[in-house]
Chains A and B, each alone.
Chain A
């Protein structure tokens, strides 16, 4: 029984080799593309232009029309959320995106969702969705390192593989996924590690969950931290999220930034180091403190000392992701112990 199920899943995943000529006998899986913009939707003035390519934008219809091979693997529709670079993606866009995706996946005949996004903050939106999407159906975030107009652009194959991944039943229950460069990565653990290379998205130490190879969508790993259907966070009625800021640590960091963020109304701060006096001043005003790290790998361990100072350990989340989780945590509680539990579970 299990064996035949696995076999049939394998056959389903092997679709691309069969492709094109044979018209599909059964209805194709319905995948909706939610576009937010980014390099994958940007045009440069000439095809060697790999930077400062702000010479035009590509909308979802053009993106889909550019990739007729999608017709063989999925019934693709789209919703345009925004068309901005990832530095401009804000809370309003993220909340709208999450609500639209939840509405789509709640439909009984939807198979999955694909989100286009600029790569600079892609991992933040992906992790946010990982915590607030209320479905087991695949949600795949995709981008490109080279613009729509470039020679050897990576966008089309990334998008094709993202749709394949979203259409694959084996992707269910894996949490929100990031697909670029033939790799399937977990939203929680993946970070952009290089400014221009195409192998930029990596889950340091932990590696990808699988691959979008030509013969099949293949998985080796399943994430164990809580996500999507096992998440306690709900943004369905929210229109904004608490302000949380990040400070970077370096020699002689004197706490000026911490004081300034508190003055600006931050409800929580994610630190990569500590300035004890400024932290105490912030905590006196009710600001929650999370300790992350600037190294990019490894955990901030929990210690009795940290707990006694009401400092929350970010586990192995980088500051920008600890910020996302702290914002959502603050929609539920102000209790540092309870928030530490959330950082241990998500």
Chain B
């Protein structure tokens, strides 16, 4: 019996034993695991924190990559990842930590969860024994959560967000490789000082600029316009860029505990978009409004009237563009209208930055400065 065939036999026997619990099927079980060094203390210590997500979900059968999860369906716990990926032991001392929201669903996460996790990330990063942190998250809003951490966690150590487009148990699931690569990135000394990172599909992106661009494809996360900053290739983790906007240790919001943030809502612009939605936001107590404008950042005339009413009651208005690329610029007309240009931020990220800015003041010059610097 050849050694490959022997390993396949062992693998098949393992599958029989493990049949009731579906672990990731796509890791080639006949390949030898990477060598684990004799002195594992020499390996970097990486915290693997679960905030849940598709990467922490099971679907049956394994072709189910759209309708997985839900109430009563067993989840993938952090220890399952470590069990399914013995290769992790060859690259890091992995410490697991569970920070899932009670329902383990991204859509049910609230600011309370972000504030708790930000506080915890600040604590973990301050621990000299820890080299880096990997955070799993559902892909729908992970770019927002990562950006919030990019602004509020005070550390040079790598914090790497990762998820998957297919459930952990899905056929050709992208989760295992993504998770392995995220740990490699978090363990890479080159990843230090680059702000909160995002690693999926072998691309390394920055939290500020990364965006989910496709509902189901595995090549969904892109730094729209500005691209990735590096690759997690089979031979090594490589960086080509560093972000120049302020983040983490250079952020004036870092290390502070924001148990609550001022309410900020997003209004979308489209042909005939009415102003009453903006009026309603103000009536419900919004302190800031991000208008996702058409083209280079325009609102309809009814929205423009409503914006003036909102501003008259002290609400700060930021303009972003629904073009998914390019910047909203600082123009004389926009300055006259007291509208803060949202730069090239997506409205959901402009919202987070505006919330943090409003914890200081509603001073337009200060909010504009913050949008220019972050």
Residues of chain A whose beta carbon lies under 8 Å from any beta carbon of chain B: 2-3, 6-7, 10, 14, 17, 189, 203, 205-209, 211, 213-216, 218-225, 298-299, 301-303, 315-316
User: Residues of A contacting B226 with CB < 8 Å?
Assistant: 207-209, 220-221
Closest to A313 in B: B235
Cβ–Cβ contact B239 & A224, under 8 A: yes
Interface centre among A208, A215, A316 (most CB of B within 10 A): A215
- Min Cβ gap B264→A in Å is 23
Residues of chain B whose beta carbon lies under 8 Å from any beta carbon of chain A: 190, 203, 209, 223, 225-229, 231, 233-236, 238-245, 250, 326-327, 329-332, 341, 343-344, 369, 372-373
Cβ–Cβ contact B236 & A302, under 8 A: yes
Cβ–Cβ contact A6 & B372, under 8 A: yes
Q: How far is the CA of A216 from the CA of B326 in the complex (A)?
A: 13
Q: How far is the CA of A208 from the CA of B373 in the complex (A)?
A: 18
Cβ–Cβ contact B225 & A213, under 8 A: no
- Contacts A215-B330, A216-B330 given; does A203 touch B227 at CB 8 Å: yes
Q: Which of B203, B234, B242, B327 contacts A221 (CB 8 A)?
A: B242
User: Residues of A contacting B239 with CB < 8 Å?
Assistant: 224
Cβ–Cβ contact B227 & A218, under 8 A: no
Cβ–Cβ contact A222 & B244, under 8 A: yes
Closest to A302 in B: B235
Cβ–Cβ contact A207 & B228, under 8 A: yes
Q: How far is the CA of A7 from the CA of B332 in the complex (A)?
A: 18
Cβ–Cβ contact A6 & B373, under 8 A: yes
Q: How far is the CA of A116 from the CA of B107 in the complex (A)?
A: 52
Interface centre among A3, A203, A206, A208 (most CB of B within 10 A): A206
Q: Which of B227, B235, B341 contacts A207 (CB 8 A)?
A: B227
User: Residues of B contacting A302 with CB < 8 Å?
Assistant: 235-236
* With A209-B241, A215-B329, A301-B236 already in contact, 15 other A-B pairs whose C-beta atoms are closer than 8 Å: A17-B331, A206-B229, A207-B225, A213-B327, A213-B329, A215-B341, A220-B243, A221-B229, A222-B241, A222-B244, A223-B241, A224-B240, A298-B231, A299-B238, A316-B240
User: Residues of A contacting B228 with CB < 8 Å?
Assistant: 205-207
Closest to B334 in A: A215
Q: How far is the CA of A207 from the CA of B325 in the complex (A)?
A: 12
Cβ–Cβ contact B241 & A206, under 8 A: yes
Q: How far is the CA of A207 from the CA of B373 in the complex (A)?
A: 20
Q: When A and B form their complex, what is the total count of cross-chain residue pairs whose Cβ atoms lie within 8 Å?
A: 86
Cβ–Cβ contact A7 & B243, under 8 A: no
Q: How far is the CA of A234 from the CA of B203 in the complex (A)?
A: 34
User: Residues of A contacting B233 with CB < 8 Å?
Assistant: 299, 301
Mostly, the B contact residues are loop
Q: How far is the CA of A203 from the CA of B229 in the complex (A)?
A: 11
- Contacts A7-B369, A299-B233 given; does A211 touch B327 at CB 8 Å: yes
Q: How far is the CA of A203 from the CA of B227 in the complex (A)?
A: 8
Closest to A303 in B: B235
Cβ–Cβ contact A223 & B329, under 8 A: no
Q: How far is the CA of A200 from the CA of B78 in the complex (A)?
A: 45
- Min Cβ gap A315→B in Å is 7
User: Residues of B contacting A223 with CB < 8 Å?
Assistant: 240-241
- Min Cβ gap A133→B in Å is 19
Q: Which of A208, A215, A219 contacts B227 (CB 8 A)?
A: A208
Q: How far is the CA of A213 from the CA of B226 in the complex (A)?
A: 14
Q: How far is the CA of A219 from the CA of B369 in the complex (A)?
A: 15
Q: How far is the CA of A203 from the CA of B190 in the complex (A)?
A: 21
User: Residues of B contacting A14 with CB < 8 Å?
Assistant: 330
Q: Which of A2, A208, A214, A220 contacts B244 (CB 8 A)?
A: A220
User: Residues of A contacting B236 with CB < 8 Å?
Assistant: 301-302
Q: How far is the CA of A189 from the CA of B223 in the complex (A)?
A: 16
Q: How far is the CA of A25 from the CA of B343 in the complex (A)?
A: 30
Q: Which of B209, B329, B332, B369 contacts A220 (CB 8 A)?
A: B209
Cβ–Cβ contact B235 & A221, under 8 A: no
23 residue pairs from A and B, CB less than 8 Å apart: A6-B372, A7-B369, A206-B240, A207-B223, A207-B228, A211-B326, A211-B327, A213-B327, A214-B331, A215-B341, A218-B327, A218-B343, A221-B241, A222-B241, A222-B243, A223-B241, A298-B231, A299-B231, A299-B238, A301-B236, A303-B235, A315-B238, A316-B240
Q: How far is the CA of A206 from the CA of B239 in the complex (A)?
A: 10
Q: Which of B227, B235, B330, B332 contacts A206 (CB 8 A)?
A: B227
Q: How far is the CA of A224 from the CA of B332 in the complex (A)?
A: 36
Q: How far is the CA of A236 from the CA of B225 in the complex (A)?
A: 37
User: Residues of B contacting A221 with CB < 8 Å?
Assistant: 226-227, 229, 241-244
Interface centre among A219, A224, A302, A315 (most CB of B within 10 A): A224
- Min Cβ gap A227→B in Å is 12
Cβ–Cβ contact A10 & B372, under 8 A: yes
- Contacts A3-B369, A221-B243, A302-B235 given; does A208 touch B225 at CB 8 Å: yes
Cβ–Cβ contact B240 & A301, under 8 A: no
- Min Cβ gap B216→A in Å is 21
Closest to B373 in A: A6
Q: Which 8 A-B pairs have the closest CB atoms?
A: A207-B227, A301-B235, A215-B330, A206-B227, A215-B329, A221-B241, A207-B226, A302-B235
User: Residues of B contacting A214 with CB < 8 Å?
Assistant: 329, 331
Closest to B238 in A: A299
Cβ–Cβ contact A205 & B227, under 8 A: yes
- Min Cβ gap A312→B in Å is 14
- Min Cβ gap A278→B in Å is 25
- Min Cβ gap A202→B in Å is 9
Cβ–Cβ contact A215 & B331, under 8 A: yes
Closest to B252 in A: A3
Q: How far is the CA of A216 from the CA of B343 in the complex (A)?
A: 11
Q: How far is the CA of A223 from the CA of B372 in the complex (A)?
A: 20
Cβ–Cβ contact B234 & A224, under 8 A: no
- Min Cβ gap B39→A in Å is 23
User: Residues of B contacting A17 with CB < 8 Å?
Assistant: 330-332
User: Residues of B contacting A218 with CB < 8 Å?
Assistant: 327, 343
- Min Cβ gap A48→B in Å is 29
- Min Cβ gap B219→A in Å is 11
User: Residues of A contacting B242 with CB < 8 Å?
Assistant: 221-222, 224
